[in-house]
Amino acid sequence: MIEHQKFGRRATDLLELDGRAWKPMPPPSPAGVMGDHDAFGRHLARVDQLERRVGELERDNRELAAFAADVAHDLRTPLQAVAGFAELLARREGAALDETSQGFLGHILTATGAMKELVEAVLDHRQSTFGSLSPAWVYGNDLVVAVLRRLQRDLDQAGAVVEVGDLPTVFADRVQLGRVFQNLISNALRAAHPDRPLKITVTGRRFPASWELAVTDNGVGVQPEDRSRIFELFQRGPSDGQRAAGHGMGLTICRTIIERHGGRIGVERASDGGARFSFTIPDRNGAMRNAGSAGHRP
């Protein structure tokens, strides 16, 4: 006789299994974060300390910038007096001075001119860093044409050819954005190559969430090791006899303005050996379109 196999378990078996049932256990906590309360407390204390330190540094930077702006503003009057009397002396007595004295007078005028540029740059840096922004829709081509008109004499003296492509309309502070273009084009003028006519190109192109605007020249270029350094305060390009010295603040001002608009700025080698300075401005139109389309999704 074939004995039928019985399926299922007895009640005693179920009781035995219940006694061996898996009990959920709390997941292990990483040591020093949740498991070690002392270490976690020390971690929070360090975070608070870093936040306080960052706040202190930001306050100190604001105070230093304000102090520098106040000093620069106070220097304007005596500097204008020195330059004005030097120019008056040159007009009235220049012909009667010997060659050495005329050279001295020329050095005074050159130095006061450089100091005036530095004072104005310090004030521009203060404004670009802490001044309020007034964003509006800015037509790129109209803005660049206005900047080129202001720089017309310098462009003519350098024999520069400027080509402007089809630029976008962006939402930005018109004055501050104009300062960026003016500094970048002036930088291209100082970087002119002695062996070829200067050519400057201003272009724009679309990115997924922003616009890229670029000022490209065929000048002496920027060495790879200098491409980050030149955006720091008071950092100039190498004096190789080709690039005219600036005050070392123009590119810093550009970076500050662009970052305050939510973009980024950088430099790379141009195809003809010059420099291509490019920066991005968030595409407010694109963001509005994306938000609108997202709002209509089922």
User: Of 6-20, 44-58, 87-101, 210-224, which range is least confident?
Assistant: 6-20
Whole-angstrom Cα distance, residue 145 to residue 215? 13
User: Of 54-58, 87-91, 103-107, which range is least confident?
Assistant: 54-58
> Is the model's pLDDT at 12 over the cut of 50?
no
Compute the average pLDDT of residues 118-122.
72
Mapping DSSP to helix (H, G, I), strand (E, B) and coil, where does residue 85 land?
helix
Instruction: Using a pLDDT cut of 70, give the percent of the chain over it.
Output: 70
Instruction: Using a pLDDT cut of 90, give the percent of the chain over it.
Output: 36
> Is the model's pLDDT at 180 over the cut of 70?
yes
Q: Check residue 115 and give its pLDDT.
A: 77
> Is the model's pLDDT at 297 over the cut of 60?
no
Alpha helices (runs of H) in 94-213, residue ranges in sequence order: 99-130, 140-150, 152-158, 174-190
> Is the model's pLDDT at 110 over the cut of 50?
yes
For the stretch 122-174, pLDDT in tens is 777 676 776 788 999 999 999 999 999 999 999 999 999 999 999 999 999 99
Whole-angstrom Cα distance, residue 280 to residue 213? 6
Q: Check residue 248 and give its pLDDT.
A: 65
> Is the model's pLDDT at 10 over the cut of 70?
no
Every domain of the chain and the residues it spans: 40-130, 135-287
For the stretch 23-70, pLDDT in tens is 555 555 554 445 556 777 777 778 888 888 877 776 766 666 666 667
Q: Check residue 148 and give its pLDDT.
A: 96
Do 277 and 215 meet the contact criterion of CB atoms below 8 Å apart? yes
> Is the model's pLDDT at 194 over the cut of 80?
yes
Average pLDDT over the chain, rounded to whole? 78
Superfamily of domain 135-287: Histidine kinase-like ATPase, C-terminal domain (3.30.565.10)
Q: Check residue 28 and give its pLDDT.
A: 53
> Is the model's pLDDT at 76 over the cut of 50?
yes
Q: Check residue 189 and give its pLDDT.
A: 94
How far from the centroid of its chain's Cα atoms is residue 96's Cα? Answer: 50
> Is the model's pLDDT at 240 over the cut of 60?
no
The answer to whether the predicted template modeling score (pTM) of the entire model surpasses 0.85 is no
Cα torsion through 101, 107, 112, 114, rounded to 10: 170
Q: Check residue 138 and give its pLDDT.
A: 96
Compute the average pLDDT of residues 203-212.
95
Q: Check residue 275 and give its pLDDT.
A: 93
Q: Which CATH class is domain 40-130?
A: mainly alpha
> Is the model's pLDDT at 201 over the cut of 80?
yes
Backbone conformation region of residue 103, classed left if phi is above 0, alpha if psi is from -120 to 50, else beta: alpha
Mapping DSSP to helix (H, G, I), strand (E, B) and coil, where does residue 159 land?
coil
> Is the model's pLDDT at 5 over the cut of 60?
no
Q: Check residue 213 and give its pLDDT.
A: 98
> Is the model's pLDDT at 11 over the cut of 70?
no
Whole-angstrom Cα distance, residue 56 to residue 50? 10
Tokens representing 175? 């004055």
